[in-house]
Amino acid sequence: MLDVAIIGGGLSGLYLAQKLWSSGRSFELFEARSRFGGRILSRPVKGEFNYDLGPGWVWPDSQPRIAGLLRSLGLNTYPQWVSGDSLYQIDRDRAAQRYSDPATYADARRVEGGTAAVIDKLVQHLPAERLHSAHRLDALTDAGEYILLNLEHQGTQRQLFAHQVVLCMPPRLLAERVAFKPALAPSLQRLMRETPTWMAGQAKALIRYKYPFWRQQRLSGAMLSGYPSAMLAEVFDAGAEQGGDAALSGFFALPAELRRRWRDDLEALLLDQLVRAFGPEAATPESVEIQDWADEALTAATADAQPLSAHPDYGHPWFELDHWNDKLLFCGSETATHFGGYLEGALEAAERVAQALNLSEQTSSLGPETGELQHASEFTAR
């Protein structure tokens, strides 16, 4: 029987697994996807530069946990490109307005190698036999002194037993996809259904170019669009600091339903928008990639297709409680009190659960047998 079963192999689940491993606790982690990382997804394009199709920014000055984790893993960051004017499109047929905006991305930084480098490093520092991809959780049953887990793996049902289960999945997805026996309290079920999965209804476009022509125009690559038919609401420079790998990236203004309806036309429409803003050189990218998270069944619940008007108020205290007599705990960024939805929030939630599990830090934060020199004080938040 397992001591702790972690459900979800995103940042929160892997960070918690690292803490369990360094404390000598028995655990296994189960991820439904064939890869680890969850909403963290970086795409390699020629050489070693990786473009982020999920979260791409960290703010080390205000996010001590992710800053400490990056240091512990030996990962560097570089600033988001902000040199030059930003653009604002007020109308499709009017020239975009230039304006100075050094503040919006001033403290934002990108991870060298892409944000997925964090996931890769964490996985490398954990024993492979404890990490299981392509294992989808279907049901949990309170069996008294332990929990029965029903998982699906490549078409085969698998049953496991664990003393404690930590759910590192978005609450809304859990409410829609996982059967709890006995059922959770109606008020908790309602809270889970009403907790939006951050960015799950969004889509991100990556437009690669041979060179960053906008920088030569003294533009930062940043653009906001406020007219109704705009494809992209926000655009920014997604390339390397020195310009060797050039790209613009942006978040769609269209809700998920319209993106699906116009799927075959999205690339042409967004390029038309970029040409009107940045000029004719925007018409000939080397590649265009659209990552629509609303189409990811392992990220977005049905209700996540509805656009959000503001950042949700995450960190409800009910998610901080244990359930089923201390056997069932919630984790994941949407359960964090601060920075909910962000990478920092994922780490905060994992630390909270680690404290609830009464984990004791060992000298090496990267596992008792790795021989690494990093210490727990460097790995955890200050």
Closest CA to 82 of 48, 50, 105, 98: 105
pLDDT category, 322, cuts 50, 70, 90? Answer: very high
Residue 17: inside a domain, yes or no?
A: yes
Q: Which residue has the higher pLDDT, 251 or 369?
A: 251
* 27 & 124 share domain: yes
Strands 27-30 and 2-7: parallel
The mean per-residue pLDDT over the stretch 259-270 comes to 97
Residue 219: inside a domain, yes or no?
A: yes
Residue 303: inside a domain, yes or no?
A: no
Residue 84: inside a domain, yes or no?
A: yes
* 157 & 170 share domain: yes
pLDDT category, 243, cuts 50, 70, 90? Answer: low
* 69 & 104 share domain: no
Residue 230: inside a domain, yes or no?
A: yes
* 67 & 101 share domain: no
* 270 & 370 share domain: no
pLDDT score recorded for residue 380: 29
CA atoms within 13 A on the CB side of 28: 13
Share of the chain above pLDDT 90, in %: 88
The mean per-residue pLDDT over the stretch 231-249 comes to 91
Residue 362: inside a domain, yes or no?
A: yes
CATH number at residue 130: 3.50.50.60
The mean per-residue pLDDT over the stretch 221-245 comes to 92
* 33 & 133 share domain: yes
* 169 & 123 share domain: yes
* 143 & 220 share domain: no
* 31 & 97 share domain: no
CA–CA separation, 249 and 222 (whole Å): 9
In whole angstroms, how far apart are CA 324 and each of 97, 143, 168? 57, 10, 17
Q: Point out the domain boundary residue: 295, 322, 347.
A: 295
pLDDT score recorded for residue 48: 64
pLDDT score recorded for residue 245: 86
pLDDT score recorded for residue 47: 62
Q: Tell me what the pLDDT averaged over the chain comes to.
A: 92
The mean per-residue pLDDT over the stretch 253-266 comes to 97
Q: Where are the alpha helices (DSSP H) in the chain?
A: 11-22, 64-73, 116-124, 171-177, 186-193, 213-216, 256-261, 266-278, 343-356, 376-379
Q: Which residues contact 124 (CB under 8 A, 6 or more apart)?
A: none
Q: Is-cis flag, bond preceding 182, omega within 30?
A: yes
pLDDT category, 358, cuts 50, 70, 90? Answer: confident
CA–CA separation, 75 and 82 (whole Å): 22
CATH number at residue 240: 3.90.660.10
pLDDT category, 241, cuts 50, 70, 90? Answer: confident
pLDDT score recorded for residue 78: 96
CA–CA separation, 359 and 1 (whole Å): 19
pLDDT score recorded for residue 373: 24
* 161 & 124 share domain: yes
Residue 302: inside a domain, yes or no?
A: no
Prediction pTM value: 0.91
Q: Tokens 């022509």 belong to which residue?
A: 213
Per-residue pLDDT tens for 20-76? 999 999 999 999 999 999 999 998 876 667 999 999 999 999 999 999 999 999 999
pLDDT category, 377, cuts 50, 70, 90? Answer: very low
**pLDDT over 90 at 270, yes or no:** yes
Residue 314 CB neighbour total at 10 angstroms: 23
**pLDDT over 70 at 378, yes or no:** no
Question: CA 47, 49, 53, 54: dihedral to nearest 10 degrees?
Answer: 140
Residue 304: inside a domain, yes or no?
A: no
* 163 & 209 share domain: no
* 327 & 360 share domain: yes
pLDDT category, 242, cuts 50, 70, 90? Answer: confident
pLDDT score recorded for residue 376: 26
First to last CA, the chain: 34
pLDDT score recorded for residue 381: 29
When divided into structural domains, the chain yields a total of 2
**pLDDT over 90 at 365, yes or no:** no
**pLDDT over 70 at 137, yes or no:** yes
Structural domain that includes position 89: 79-111+201-295
Q: Tokens 């940045």 belong to which residue?
A: 278
